[in-house]
Amino acid sequence: MILGLTITTSYYLALSAMLFVLGAFGVMVRRNPLVMFMCVELMLNAVNISFVAFGDSMDDIRGQVSVFFVLVVAAAEVVIGLAIVVAIMRRRPKITADDISVLRG
């Protein structure tokens, strides 16, 4: 009970959905590659909130176990993403996603 408000599972799910949409929006509109990675992280962690909330509401441990797998995957993903950005930035400092456009369809 906070301020007379009972926090139920659906609050956590709504928070998770909002963070997920925020992250997806960020990936699409932000031009800085680093910020884009951060937005992807935000999406993955938003999903983690969903997993924990569902697991808690169903009294099931698997929701929380899934979070560990997602954390590992997110870490691996960032390692690769940063490596690619560093490789590009070495050649062309101060790059944004708009500058990386040799390929066009």
Partner 1 sequence: MLNILAQPPTDAIPTPDVAWSGLMPLLILSGGAVLLLTIVSLAKDFIPRWFTPIYTVLIGIATGVAAIPLWLRVTDTPSAADPNNGPFATLDSSFGVDGFSVFFTMLFAAVVVLVALLANDYLRREDIDGPEFYVLMMLSASGGIVMASANDLIVMFLGLEILSIAVYVMAAMHSRRIESQEAGMKYFVLGALSSAVFLYGIALTYGATGSTNLVEIREFLSNVILLNDALLLAGFALLLVGFGFKVAAVPFHSWTPDVYQGAPTPVVGFMASAVKAAAFAGMLRVFWLTFGSYRTDWQPVIYGLAIATLLVGSFVAIVQTDVKRMLAYSSISHAGYLLVGVQAATNEGTATVLFYLAAYAFMVIGSFTVITLATGPGDAKTSLTDIAGLARTRPVLGIALTVFLLGQAGVPFTSGFFAKFYVISAAADANSYGLAIVAMLAAVVAAFLYLRIMMAIWLDGDEVADPTELAAAKAGIPVPWGAAVVLVVTVGFTLVFGLWPEPMIEMARDAVPALAIG
**Could you list the residues that contact partner 1 (CB under 8 A)?**
13, 16, 20, 23-24, 27, 33, 36-37, 40, 43-44, 46-47, 50-51, 54, 58-63, 66, 69-70, 73, 76-77, 80-81, 83-85, 87-88, 91-92, 97, 100-105
Q: Return the DSSP state at 2.
A: B
Identify which of residues 4 and 105 has a Cβ nearer to partner 1 in the complex: 105
Which amino acid would we find at residue 33?
Answer: P
Residue with Cβ nearer partner 1 (3 or 103): 103
Closer residue to partner 1 (CB): 3 or 102: 102
Cα separation of 17 and 28, whole Å?
17
What is the smallest separation between the CB atom of 30 and partner 1, expressed in angstroms?
A: 10
User: Alpha-carbon distance 85 to 63, whole Å?
Assistant: 33
DSSP helix/strand/coil, 32:
coil
Query: Using only C-alpha atoms, what is the Rg of the chain?
Result: 18
Output 4 or 65, the one with its CB closest to partner 1: 65
Helices (H), 6-100: 9-29, 33-58, 62-91
CB of 46 to partner 1, least distance (A): 8
